[in-house]
């Protein structure tokens, strides 16, 4: 292609993307409205929209006849043209979310797994969860345009392989390679804290913020960083792993809850935090002191991130969101003591779905990055 041809093709791609972006998540719009939203000329918009309809990216919405006269034709993005999967590989569960190209979740499926499960068992559970989810939605594997898998521990720079993880045997596993025998679309692997951060900016409590420190607070503590609206992966994929540094106390923080005085021996390790929270709510002083020690340690690492990055918002995520009221205030108090400028602290409301939601967003970004390029055939030409 010569220079001018490449420029025209680039411009068409650019205008198509602008119009699709102006349509997504919006009610059906007329060409005039779309021209207004994109800043393109009305005739130019009309040409691009017709092309998008021909290719299957855009659907015509017929007027419902309730208005007098001949109403203008309206258009909407064909969100069903493709779908993406977000998969959360947790210690206790595999959660699969299936979404359309507007990020609307059309199916959710959860399969329990033992924390002690070896990699083969865990990967089999991933396969089961995905297959059951797609079957329930009546969808074939080859209709999926991108898959993102959330895992514990950092993921290498290629976004395929987990580097370190508390899941038994999991560090030697490549979930992307495993799934690539079932899918021909791009498969990305990402750290769960990073995905939690992405989810909060997409559908959570930090939609208004560009600079976010996300702290996953639980019996394991981790962080995900969003700066200038972009997830920080780091040069080798290991950004956010400040918790590995003993001095910031995230490794030792959970022991304060584990060793809370009065803990009955029959309480399962996974339920110890809940037991402490219950005791705190019941007014127990020793439980309150244990929780205070946990928050003090949590605050050291959080303060290190706040002082290093000076974010707009700190989001407190993780499985304890129902007990956030017991953590946010003392955490704010500690940060106030430790930091030069204290950002707003907000508790996540996405609950247990956050990692899988973040995975969906990363999969949608992957689709967006190739939309209208040579690598991505239009829905009608690809038979979708």
Residue that has been written with the tokens 């503590």 in this structure: 221
- Cβ-based nearer residue to a copy of itself, 251 or 274: 251
Round to whole Å and give the CA distance between 133 and 186.
Answer: 19
Site for a copy of itself in 5-44 (CB under 8 A): 39, 41
- Cβ-based nearer residue to a copy of itself, 164 or 351: 164
Q: Which of 18, 26, 255, 312 binds a copy of itself (CB under 8 A)?
A: 312
Round to whole Å and give the CA distance between 112 and 99.
Answer: 21
Go through the chain and tell me how many residues it has: 384
At residue 353's C-alpha, the angle toward residues 280 and 77, to 5°, is 145
Cα pseudo-dihedral 192, 290, 325, 112, rounded to 10: 40
- Per-residue binding string, a copy of itself, 331-360, x by CB under 8 A, is -------xxxx-x-----------------
Give the binding range for a copy of itself (CB under 8 A) out of 47-55, 75-83, 178-186, 239-247: 239-247
Round to whole Å and give the CA distance between 90 and 357.
Answer: 14
Q: Which of 49, 96, 117, 223 binds a copy of itself (CB under 8 A)?
A: 223
C-beta neighbour count of 43 within 10 angstroms: 10
Q: Which of 17, 171, 263, 309 binds a copy of itself (CB under 8 A)?
A: 309
Q: In Å, how far are 67, 92, 131, 193 from 153, measured between CA atoms?
A: 57, 15, 25, 9
- Per-residue binding string, a copy of itself, 126-155, x by CB under 8 A, is ----------------------------x-
What is the nearest approach in angstroms of a copy of itself to the Cβ of residue 360? 24
- Cβ-based nearer residue to a copy of itself, 195 or 273: 195
Query: Exposed (0-12), middle (13-18) or buried (19+): which is 337, by Cβ within 10 Å?
Result: exposed
Give the binding range for a copy of itself (CB under 8 A) out of 68-76, 97-105, 140-148, 247-255: 247-255
Does 196 engage in binding with a copy of itself (CB under 8 A)? Answer: no
- Cβ-based nearer residue to a copy of itself, 49 or 339: 339
Round to whole Å and give the CA distance between 136 and 214.
Answer: 33
- Cβ-based nearer residue to a copy of itself, 40 or 359: 40
Site size for a copy of itself (CB under 8 A): 44
Dihedral-angle region of residue 234 (phi above 0 means left; psi in -120 to 50 means alpha; beta otherwise): left
Round to whole Å and give the CA distance between 50 and 254.
Answer: 58
Q: Which of 74, 83, 107, 233 binds a copy of itself (CB under 8 A)?
A: 233
- Cβ-based nearer residue to a copy of itself, 59 or 201: 201
């Amino acid at each position: 292609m010569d220079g001018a041809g490449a420029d025209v093709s680039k411009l068409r791609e650019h205008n198509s993307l602008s119009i699709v972006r102006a349509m997504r998540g919006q009610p059906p719009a007329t060409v005039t409205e779309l021209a207004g939203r994109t800043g393109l000329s009305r005739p130019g918009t009309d040409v691009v929209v017709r092309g998008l309809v021909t290719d299957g990216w855009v659907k015509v919405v017929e007027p419902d006849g309730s208005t007098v006269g001949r109403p203008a034709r309206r258009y909407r993005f064909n969100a069903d043209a493709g779908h993406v999967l977000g998969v959360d590989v947790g210690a206790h569960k595999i959660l699969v979310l299936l979404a359309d190209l507007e990020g609307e979740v059309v199916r959710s499926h959860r399969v329990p797994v033992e924390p002690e499960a070896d990699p083969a068992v865990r990967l089999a559970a991933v396969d089961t969860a995905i297959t059951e989810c797609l079957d329930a939605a009546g969808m074939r594997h080859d209709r999926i345009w991108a898959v993102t898998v959330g895992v514990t521990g950092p993921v290498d720079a290629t976004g395929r392989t987990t580097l370190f993880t508390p899941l038994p045997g999991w560090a030697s596993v490549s979930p992307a390679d495993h799934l690539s025998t079932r899918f021909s679309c791009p498969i990305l692997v990402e750290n769960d804290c990073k995905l939690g951060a992405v989810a909060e900016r997409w559908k959570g409590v930090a939609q208004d913020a560009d600079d976010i420190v996300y702290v996953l607070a639980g019996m394991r503590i981790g962080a995900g960083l969003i700066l200038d609206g972009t997830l920080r992966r780091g040069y080798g994929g290991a950004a956010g792993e400040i918790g590995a540094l003993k001095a910031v106390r995230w490794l030792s923080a959970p022991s304060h809850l584990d060793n809370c005085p009065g803990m009955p021996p029959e309480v399962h390790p996974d339920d110890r935090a809940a037991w402490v929270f219950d005791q705190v709510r019941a007014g127990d002083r020793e439980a309150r002191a244990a929780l205070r020690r946990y928050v003090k340690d949590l605050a050291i690492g959080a303060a290190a991130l706040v002082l290093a990055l000076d974010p707009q918002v700190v989001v407190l995520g993780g499985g304890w969101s129902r007990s956030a009221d017991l953590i946010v205030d003392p955490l704010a108090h500690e940060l106030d003591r430790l930091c030069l400028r204290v950002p707003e602290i907000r508790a996540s409301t996405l609950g247990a779905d956050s990692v899988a939601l973040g995975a969906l967003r990363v999969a949608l970004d992957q689709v967006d990055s190739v939309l209208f390029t040579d690598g991505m055939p239009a829905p009608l030409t690809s038979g979708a």
